Amino acid sequence: MEIMILLLFIFVIAAFLGRELISKVPSQLHTPLMSATNAIGGITVVGAVVAVAMFATGTLGMVLSFVAIILATINVVGGYSVTQRMLGMFRKKEDKNG
């Protein structure tokens, strides 16, 4: 029970810290920041696959792990597509046509 309270405390602190850090980022840095977080997200997906292979037991654990991996993968792919669209906004007009 103590470990669950500690993990919940760490999660809440990380959520507040992440929100505060993201809100302070200037708009010019959002695209590079998104690229970096997408790379971290990709590493997270690989880590989740390894964790499932090593530790998930039982049907509920496997189902929850599968759903988590699918959602993390959707997040990474969506982040990369948004980054590509944002980078496309900065191209010159003649680059878009040819």
Q: Is the pLDDT of residue 20 over 70?
A: yes
Q: What is the pLDDT of residue 94?
A: 65
Which tens digit of pLDDT belongs to each residue from 43-56? 778 877 777 777 77
Note the pLDDT of residue 95: 56
Gap between the Cα atoms of 5 and 72, Å rounded? 25
On average, the pLDDT of the chain sits at: 77
H runs (alpha helix) in 1-98: 2-23, 30-55, 58-89, 93-97
Q: Name the pTM for this structure.
A: 0.54
Confidence at residue 97, expressed as pLDDT on a 0 to 100 scale? 60
Side-chain half-sphere CA neighbours of 36 within 13 A: 6
